[in-house]
């Protein structure tokens, strides 16, 4: 009885409260139960094969079914399933992972603080940035500036740092000490201007905000190099250089949230490198272990780490599972795969450019107002009238329709309003990209047939 799909779905509805889900709607529609995966494919209990165009939740960078990661977990569990890194203790996998991360991270970063997720990484960022200034006698530097429509996680600090209005509406967020400026979303919010002019104007909001608050009150600016959950929003080329200048000029920490962009997604190891930005703190998770184990961290630049290590006293922050040895062993094996198989270089030189070519081709489709991307990130703007730059009045409805038809056609794509986003495993081949885009084209044709006059 237990193994029939219908019965599992019934138990799920009875006992499982799902994240980011309307439980009533889910119970009415029934849930899809994924029970197996291989390479870039996932399989549900009814036998449907889907290309996982989202790499899970932007995280399965090396693809599914990598035996090395299974072996790493198993042998570490046999050797030492758990010990902590509090109270002058550590474990060999956590040390080895820290070393390899300092090798793959930009040169000015040689330290890491561990946690279990991207959200916890951003909670750590908030406390670490404030502590960094406090231990230099600048305790008034407390405010973190972020952006509307940013996503930095679901914990109280993560959701507050994020700029998702629906999240802020629940639970009285954001917490005090966090300010938001506009996002560099040219297609959606700056289409009346030249993209480069728009990029600079939006960046200058940071300067205006710092001046309004007072430089002595501001600890840091946080941003995803490319916004992922917000809809794969790629800033115009003028944006990041201006942000860099402002952070330096006003002496505030620059935090690049690398939870999605890190570990090869853009064709560089980190998204900040793609934009030639030197971050002071880089929250990481997801691709760090390719999602095989929960693990996150904050990569910490030398100038911050030195202050924390020499002037900080005790940093009263940490998690039971900070540097968990099994998670660390899996992450270590995962980074080794990314490095030894040249996966990041392949994204840059081979599969990334091919993927982007296919994305741009679909820009000609009557339904698509903009087709954009970097590396193995992609987005399509679904438009009611692309020539008149007219969005659908109910963006969520058309996005959901497209997402559902995509599943029928054998692909997982996610929708953010009426923006369809893609982030497949980095190990996808050019042949598989062809297969993916044939299914996307079919899906867009079917959506167009239903929604365009």
Our CA angle for 297, 120, 376, nearest 5°, is 60
Q: How far is the CB of 117 from ligand PLP (least distance, A)?
A: 3
Residues lying near ligand PLP in the complex (CB under 6 A): 57, 117-119, 122, 151-153, 224, 228-229, 257, 259-260, 285
Q: Which of 408, 390, 403 is nearest to 452 (CA)?
A: 390
Q: Which is nearer to ligand PLP, 123 or 242 (CB)?
A: 123
Question: CB count, 10 Å around CB of 249?
Answer: 11
Q: Are 376 and 355 in contact (CB under 8 A)?
A: yes
Q: Which is nearer to ligand PLP, 300 or 443 (CB)?
A: 300
Q: How far is the CB of 157 from ligand PLP (least distance, A)?
A: 11
Say how many Å lie between the first and final Cα of the chain, rounded. Answer: 47
Q: CB within 8 A of 239, min separation 6: which ones?
A: 184, 199, 200, 202, 203
Q: Which is nearer to ligand PLP, 271 or 325 (CB)?
A: 271
Q: How far is the CB of 163 from ligand PLP (least distance, A)?
A: 12
Helices of type H across 225-299:
239-249, 271-274
Q: Which is nearer to ligand PLP, 57 or 407 (CB)?
A: 57
Q: Which is nearer to ligand PLP, 264 or 369 (CB)?
A: 264
Q: How far is the CB of 258 from ligand PLP (least distance, A)?
A: 8
Position with the least CB separation from ligand PLP: 118
3-state class (DSSP) for residue 340? helix
Q: How far is 84 from 91, CA to CA, in rounded Å?
A: 8
Q: How far is the CB of 398 from ligand PLP (least distance, A)?
A: 23
Q: CB within 8 A of 392, min separation 6: which ones?
A: 382, 383, 384, 398, 418, 451
Cα dist. 154→19, 59, 367 in Å?
10, 17, 33
Q: Which is nearer to ligand PLP, 228 or 352 (CB)?
A: 228
Q: How far is the CB of 303 from ligand PLP (least distance, A)?
A: 23
Q: Which is nearer to ligand PLP, 69 or 384 (CB)?
A: 69
Q: How far is the CB of 152 from ligand PLP (least distance, A)?
A: 5
> Where is 378: in which H helix or E strand?
strand 377-385
């Amino acid at each position: 009885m237990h193994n029939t799909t219908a019965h599992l779905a019934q138990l799920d509805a009875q006992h499982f409260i799902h994240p980011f889900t309307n439980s009533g709607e889910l119970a009415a529609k029934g849930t899809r139960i994924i029970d197996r995966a291989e390479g870039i494919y996932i399989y549900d209990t009814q036998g449907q094969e889907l290309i996982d165009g989202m790499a899970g939740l932007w995280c399965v960078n090396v693809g599914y079914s990598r035996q090395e990661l299974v072996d790493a977990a198993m042998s570490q569990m046999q050797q030492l399933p758990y010990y902590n890194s509090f109270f002058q203790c550590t474990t060999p996998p956590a040390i080895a992972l820290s070393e390899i991360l300092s090798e793959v991270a930009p040169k000015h970063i040689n330290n890491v603080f561990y946690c279990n997720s991207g959200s916890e990484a951003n909670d750590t960022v908030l406390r670490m940035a404030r502590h960094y200034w406090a231990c230099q006698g600048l305790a008034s530097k407390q405010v973190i500036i972020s952006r509307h429509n940013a996503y930095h996680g679901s914990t109280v600090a993560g959701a507050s740092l994020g700029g998702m209005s629906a999240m802020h509406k629940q639970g009285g967020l954001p917490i005090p000490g966090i300010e938001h400026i506009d996002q560099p979303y040219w297609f959606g919010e700056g289409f009346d201007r030249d993209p480069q002019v728009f990029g600079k104007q939006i960046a200058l909001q940071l300067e205006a905000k710092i001046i309004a608050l007072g430089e002595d009150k501001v600890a840091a600016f946080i941003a995803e190099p490319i916004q992922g959950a917000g809809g794969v929003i790629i800033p115009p080329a003028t944006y990041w250089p201006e942000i860099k200048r402002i952070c330096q000029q006003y002496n505030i920490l620059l935090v690049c949230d690398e939870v999605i962009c890190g570990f090869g997604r853009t064709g560089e190891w980190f998204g900040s490198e793609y934009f030639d930005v030197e971050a002071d703190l880089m929250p990481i998770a997801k691709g760090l272990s390719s999602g095989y184990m929960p693990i996150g961290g904050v990569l910490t630049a030398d100038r911050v780490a030195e202050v924390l290590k020499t002037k900080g006293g005790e940093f009263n922050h940490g998690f039971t599972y900070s540097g968990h040895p099994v998670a660390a062993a899996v992450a270590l094996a995962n980074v080794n795969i990314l490095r030894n198989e040249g996966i990041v270089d392949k994204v840059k030189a081979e599969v990334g450019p091919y993927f982007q070519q296919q994305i741009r081709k679909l820009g000609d489709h009557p339904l698509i107002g903009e087709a954009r991307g970097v590396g193995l990130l992609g987005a399509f703007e679904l438009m009611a009238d692309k020539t008149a730059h007219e969005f659908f009045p109910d963006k969520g409805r058309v996005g959901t329709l497209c997402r559902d038809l995509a599943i029928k056609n054998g692909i997982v794509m996610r929708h953010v309003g009426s923006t369809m986003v893609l982030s497949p495993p980095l190990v996808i081949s050019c042949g598989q990209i062809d297969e993916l885009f044939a299914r996307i084209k079919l899906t867009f044709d079917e959506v167009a047939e239903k929604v365009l006059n």
